[in-house]
C-alpha cells in the first residue's frame, strides 16, 4: 500500500510559559498525542473551540513550530530529515493559508511582490515571466491583473484571502493547511472562498488540512473530520459517518451549540457547563469530564483512549450510549 501524503504520529507540543518570577510558570499542553493521516487530494477538517490547539497543529505540520515529540511523515519520509536535507522541497510540498487576511500579507509589499517572492524562491519560472505567472495565479483565484501593483490595504478581506491562496498555490503544493481561512470573513464572502478552495482541489488535486470552528460547515465540505478538545482528538472519522451521527459528547455539544436556521427552537439543546479548562493543568482522566453531560466517576480517573466505534475513532468511555438505539 502507498504511504499517505501526510502521517502525523503521536504529535505532542508543549509550550513553557511564565517567568520564574511571575509565579505563573507552567507547561501548556497545546497538543497531546495527535495522530492522523491525510491522503492525496482529500480534505481533512479539524474542528474545535479556540485554544484547543488547532493553530499549533497547523504550525507543527508546516514546520513553523517544532513538535515536542512525535513524528510527521511526508510521502513516507520523516519530515524533519527532509527539512534538514532539502528544505525547499519540504516547503514546496506543504503550504499554509492563515485566518487573518489583514496580517498574512506584508503591508509594505505589492501583491505582485508577495506572490513573486514565492515564485522566485522556488524558481517556479524565469524572472522575465514572473509577471505573467503572477497574473495567471491571480486569475486562478478570481482576481484580475489590475491587482498586481496594489498594496494589501487597498483590498477587501476576501480579496486578500484570495491573494494568500494564490501565494500558497504558486509553489504547486500537494498539501495546503488552511487555518480558519474564512473565520474572519463575512458570510457572503465565506462561501466564495470555500467554493474557490473546492474548485482548486478539483482542478489540481491538492489535499487540505482545513481548520475551522464550525462543525456544521466542515460536515459539508470535508472527506474526513477530526474534532479536537484541549489538545486531543476526541473523535475522528469519515465525514459520512460523522454526518450520520456524532458519538463523542463534546462533538455533539459543539454541533448542538452552533446556531442553525430552521432548527426547532423549543427542542432543548444540551448545553455545556462552564468554560474550557486551561491547557496548563488539563483535567485528570478524560479532559472533557468537567463539562461532560454524561460523565461518571470513572471519567475523572481513567483517561479514555481513541478506539474504533461505528466507522470512526472516539475517545470516550461511554460512547456506545450515543449510538442510536438498534
316 touches ligand SF4 by CB under 6 A: yes
The dihedral of CA 318, 319, 325, 326: what is its sign? negative
C-alpha cell at 293: 453531560
Q: What is the distance between the alpha carbons of residues 153 and 310, in angstroms, rounded to a whole number?
A: 49
* Contact with another protein (CB under 8 A) among 9, 70, 80, 122: 122
Minimal distance in Å, beta carbon 161 to another protein? 12
Question: Could you tell me if 305 and 315 are in contact, meaning their C-beta atoms sit under 8 angstroms apart?
Answer: yes
Of the listed pieces 68-76, 95-103, 126-134, 293-301, which binds another protein according to CB under 8 A?
A: 95-103
Minimal distance in Å, beta carbon 70 to ligand ADP? 15
The dihedral of CA 113, 103, 197, 42: what is its sign? positive
Question: Could you tell me if 62 and 177 are in contact, meaning their C-beta atoms sit under 8 angstroms apart?
Answer: yes
Minimal distance in Å, beta carbon 1 to another protein? 26
55 touches Mg ion by CB under 5 A: yes
Parallel/antiparallel/unpaired status of strands 77-78 and 69-74:
antiparallel
Minimal distance in Å, beta carbon 311 to ligand ADP? 26
C-alpha cell at 18: 511564565
84 touches another protein by CB under 8 A: no
Parallel/antiparallel/unpaired status of strands 232-238 and 224-229:
antiparallel
- The site partner of 55 among another protein, ligand SF4, Mg ion, none (C-beta below 5 to 8 Å per kind) is Mg ion
C-alpha cell at 181: 481561512
Minimal distance in Å, beta carbon 289 to ligand SF4? 4
263 touches another protein by CB under 8 A: yes
* Contact with ligand SF4 (CB under 6 A) among 93, 141, 177, 286: 286
Amino acid at each position: 500500500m502507498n504511504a499517505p501524503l501526510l502521517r502525523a504520529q503521536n504529535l505532542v507540543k508543549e509550550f513553557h510559559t511564565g517567568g520564574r518570577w511571575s509565579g505563573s510558570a507552567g507547561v501548556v499542553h497545546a497538543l497531546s498525542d495527535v495522530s492522523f493521516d491525510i491522503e492525496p487530494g482529500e480534505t481533512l477538517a479539524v474542528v474545535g473551540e479556540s485554544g484547543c490547539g488547532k493553530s499549533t497543529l497547523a504550525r507543527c505540520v508546516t514546520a513553523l513550530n517544532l513538535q515536542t515529540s512525535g513524528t510527521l511523515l511526508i510521502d513516507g519520509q520523516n519530515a524533519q530529515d527532509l527539512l534538514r536535507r532539502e528544505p525547499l522541497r519540504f516547503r514546496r510540498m506543504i503550504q499554509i493559508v492563515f485566518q487573518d487576511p489583514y496580517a498574512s500579507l506584508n503591508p509594505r509589499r505589492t501583491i505582485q511582490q508577495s506572490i513573486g517572492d514565492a515564485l522566485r524562491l522556488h524558481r517556479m519560472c524565469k524572472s522575465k515571466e514572473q509577471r505573467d505567472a503572477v497574473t495567471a495565479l491571480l486569475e486562478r483565484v478570481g482576481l484580475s491583473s489590475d491587482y498586481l501593483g496594489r498594496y494589501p490595504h487597498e483590498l477587501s478581506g476576501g480579496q486578500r484571502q484570495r491573494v494568500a491562496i494564490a501565494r500558497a498555490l504558486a509553489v504547486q503544493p500537494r498539501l495546503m493547511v488552511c487555518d480558519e481561512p474564512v473565520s474572519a470573513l463575512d458570510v457572503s464572502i465565506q462561501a466564495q472562498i470555500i467554493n474557490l478552495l473546492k474548485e482548486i482541489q478539483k482542478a489540481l488535486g491538492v489535499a487540505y488540512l482545513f481548520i475551522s470552528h464550525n462543525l456544521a460547515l466542515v460536515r459539508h465540505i470535508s472527506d474526513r473530520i477530526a474534532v479536537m478538545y484541549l489538545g486531543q482528538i476526541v473523535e475522528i472519522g469519515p465525514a459520512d459517518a460523522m454526518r450520520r451521527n456524532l458519538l463523542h459528547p463534546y462533538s455533539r455539544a459543539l454541533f448542538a451549540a452552533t446556531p442553525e436556521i430552521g432548527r426547532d427552537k423549543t427542542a432543548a439543546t444540551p448545553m455545556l457547563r462552564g468554560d474550557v479548562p486551561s491547557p496548563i493543568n488539563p483535567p485528570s482522566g478524560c479532559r472533557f469530564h468537567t463539562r461532560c453531560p454524561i460523565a461518571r466517576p470513572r471519567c475523572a480517573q481513567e483517561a479514555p483512549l481513541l478506539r474504533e466505534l461505528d466507522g470512526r475513532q472516539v475517545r470516550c468511555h461511554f460512547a456506545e450510549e450515543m449510538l442510536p438505539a438498534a
